[in-house]
Amino acid sequence: MIVQMDRFREVVRCICGSLDLDKALFDVFHYLKDELPLEGLAITRYEADRRRARLIAMAYEDGGLLVDKVFPLSDAAWKSITAWQRESRSATTPWIRDHTHPINREIFRLVQQMIPGFHLRETSVFSSLTCGLTVGQNLIGNLTFVVEGQELYHTRHAEIVTEVKEPFAIALSNALRYMDLVQDHKALQQESQQATAEVMVGGDTGLREVRSMVAQVAPTDTPVLLLGETGTGKEVVAAEVHKLSSRSAAPLIRLNCGAIPESLVDSELFGHEKGAFTGAIDTKPGRFERADGGTLFLDEIGELPPAVQVKLLRVLQSGEFERVGGGETLRVDVRIIAATHRRLPEMVADGRFRQDLWYRLNIFPVQIPPLRDRKEDISLLLGHFIRTKVREMNLGDPPPLADGEVASLMAYDWPGNVRELQNLVERALILSQGGALRFPVLTPALTTPPSHQAGAWSPQDLAMDSAIAGHIRFVLEKSRGKIAGPGGAAELLGMNPNTLRSRMKKLGISFPAERGPYRRGE
């Protein structure tokens, strides 16, 4: 018992001897080398919702490393991990494995990539011992011991590891909190810098109407819906609305709804309580809480899952929500700016987007024109991007443009819009090597996308029936009046032909001359 207490105290001393997790792990590594076979020591987490592992820190003979790298794992690895995690929550059973285990093979490949000097080879025969680290009932991570050789870890070693797991769990919990705080701080700094740096180029030319609408709506708290193709600059317009509002001193918080896994959208928006799900080791505020008093920009709003749409509607109506896993009702004062490149009226008609949420968001729609419809802005944007990228890339003075390059850019139709031009400028600066800027050959006069042909829905069609009718007419024109059969309007809309005819009748849309009932082979 005295030996156990001495060992526990020494491990605690090593861990508490440094605020840096990598240094503390290295000190523990050197102490425990005399207690059990050891050539590598690592702290990891398994993130079940994303089916991946996160290597947080490790130590070996040459030092300690704060890694914080994530990597996906195979189905075979997850099958073993899931079973072991269930046991670890109740008994924290050490897990003895060897080099043939799927999780060991995958983690070892990652370690080899990052630490060329780590002397174990990928073909080495090695043993490992893993212990779950828990805080309360929450399994927050794993402590893994590795040594070259076969079957070198036994029950006695597992007992030693079990004795010292508690200080490791506390150290990991503190380290994760600190890492989350650092990430949140960096994110807020980046968002603040981005909002300050963004300039709505073309406000006096191609975006004159957009700027006028922004000036009208910015002083209010009315939700704004930004519509337009991908890459047209919706984020820049959102930043302009925030900058001109009475909330400009408060944060502008952003979330791309299409870039977050469906299982995490709830937590990202509304936050979560400690223990709400595996890995939730602490209470974490969501984007709504971070945006309190300011503006929340929800990009790609059409990608929100139906269940989250319901919760978003509640916040818009009452300002109230609960964190994931919590029962306390929280209130926030947030102005919403949403953006999408999708046809929300069509999604409403198909049941993929809530009609009541659409009404709440569509109070003040702003259509942002594509770059091909405002080519007078290309020269302004080109100069702006060159100056910005030269500064970001530390390239000195902006290089001149080669003869004829502006004319080539003006002849192109820019399917990727402003973002495509920005990327093209960055690539040209890298390739120029200090010489005149030249751009790759661009194919002029690309076909105009269907969303900008005659009959497309316009944001001025504020009534739902008007918007749906406009879209049906557009699809009928595309199908050349054909309703049923392959290539017919019903097929394009994903509807039953009879349902489409019924809706057309209700909306007063005249029926085109049909060729009679659809027959096989028609």
Q: Return the top range by mean pLDDT from 63-67, 435-439, 442-446.
A: 435-439
Tell me which of 505 and 307 has the higher pLDDT.
Answer: 307
Q: Return the top range by mean pLDDT from 22-36, 87-101, 355-369.
A: 355-369
What is the CATH number for 163? 3.30.450.40
Position 256 in a domain: yes
**What gap in Å lies between CA 63 and CA 41, rounded to an integer?**
11
Q: Are residues 206 and 142 in the same domain?
A: no
Q: Are residues 223 and 99 in the same domain?
A: no
pLDDT at 446: 40
Percent of the chain with pLDDT over 70: 76
Return the beta strands (E) in 73-103 as ranges.
95-98
Q: Are residues 378 and 493 in the same domain?
A: no
Q: Are residues 20 and 160 in the same domain?
A: yes
Residue 122 has pLDDT above 60, yes or no: no
What is the CATH number for 282? 3.40.50.300
pLDDT at 117: 52
Domain count, the chain: 4
pLDDT at 123: 56
- Residues 47 and 279: beta-carbon distance below 8 Å: yes
Residue 358 has pLDDT above 90, yes or no: yes
**What gap in Å lies between CA 44 and CA 24, rounded to an integer?**
15
Residue 515 has pLDDT above 50, yes or no: no
Percent of the chain with pLDDT over 90: 23
Residue 208 has pLDDT above 80, yes or no: yes
Tell me which of 283 and 228 has the higher pLDDT.
Answer: 228
With 0-12 CB in 10 A as exposed, 13-18 as middle and 19+ as buried, what is 106? middle
Q: Are residues 336 and 471 in the same domain?
A: no
- Residues 338 and 298: beta-carbon distance below 8 Å: yes
**What gap in Å lies between CA 417 and CA 370, rounded to an integer?**
6
With tokens 């011991």, the residue in question is 145
Mean pLDDT (whole number) for 144-164: 81
Position 499 in a domain: yes
Position 68 in a domain: yes
pLDDT at 226: 96
Q: Are residues 256 and 238 in the same domain?
A: yes
Report the 10 Å Cβ neighbour count for 354.
18
- Residues 337 and 226: beta-carbon distance below 8 Å: yes
Host H or E run for residue 411: none
Position 189 in a domain: no
Residue 190 has pLDDT above 60, yes or no: no
Can you state the angle between helices 234-243 and 155-197, rounded to 10 degrees?
70
Find the range with the poorest average confidence among 83-87, 308-312, 437-441: 83-87
Q: Are residues 230 and 312 in the same domain?
A: yes
Q: Are residues 298 and 381 in the same domain?
A: no
Angle at 231 between CA 451 and CA 410, to 5 degrees: 85
Position 518 in a domain: no
Tokens of 8: 């526990």
Q: Are residues 319 and 361 in the same domain?
A: yes
387-434: per-residue pLDDT in tens? 888 888 888 888 888 888 888 888 888 888 998 899 889 888 888 877
Residue 445 has pLDDT above 60, yes or no: no
What is the CATH number for 379? 1.10.8.60
Q: Are residues 389 and 359 in the same domain?
A: no
Point out the domain boundary residue: 342, 367, 392: 367
Point out the domain boundary residue: 318, 339, 367: 367
Q: Return the top range by mean pLDDT from 115-129, 177-191, 254-268, 315-329.
A: 315-329
Instruction: Supply φ then ψ for residue 146, to 5 degrees.
Output: -130, 140
Supply the mean pLDDT for the chain: 78
pLDDT at 270: 92
Q: Return the top range by mean pLDDT from 107-111, 131-135, 277-281, 445-449.
A: 131-135
451-480: per-residue pLDDT in tens? 443 334 444 444 566 667 777 887 787 777
Residue 1 has pLDDT above 70, yes or no: no
Q: Are residues 208 and 306 in the same domain?
A: yes
Q: Look up the domain containing 468 and give its range.
A: 450-507
Tell me which of 52 and 188 has the higher pLDDT.
Answer: 52
**What gap in Å lies between CA 283 and CA 289, rounded to an integer?**
12
Position 195 in a domain: no
Host H or E run for residue 296: strand 295-299
Mean pLDDT (whole number) for 94-113: 67
Position 441 in a domain: no
262-319: per-residue pLDDT in tens? 888 888 999 988 877 776 777 888 999 999 999 999 999 999 999 899 999 999 999 9
Q: 309-317, long-range: CB within 8 Å, 24+ apart, which pairs?
A: 309/353, 309/354, 309/357, 310/354, 311/266, 311/269, 311/270, 312/269, 312/357, 313/354, 313/356, 313/357, 313/360, 315/288, 316/223, 316/357, 316/360, 316/361, 317/360
pLDDT at 411: 86
Residue 93 has pLDDT above 80, yes or no: no
Distances (CA, A) of 306 to 227, 313, 356: 20, 11, 12
Residue 436 has pLDDT above 60, yes or no: yes
pLDDT at 140: 76
Position 516 in a domain: no
- Residues 149 and 125: beta-carbon distance below 8 Å: yes
521 confidence band (pLDDT: 50, 70, 90): very low
pLDDT at 112: 61
Report pTM. 0.56
Point out the domain boundary residue: 350, 367, 384: 367
Tell me which of 482 and 332 has the higher pLDDT.
Answer: 332
Residue 516 has pLDDT above 50, yes or no: no
Rg (CA), the chain: 29
- Residues 130 and 97: beta-carbon distance below 8 Å: yes
Q: Are residues 331 and 304 in the same domain?
A: yes
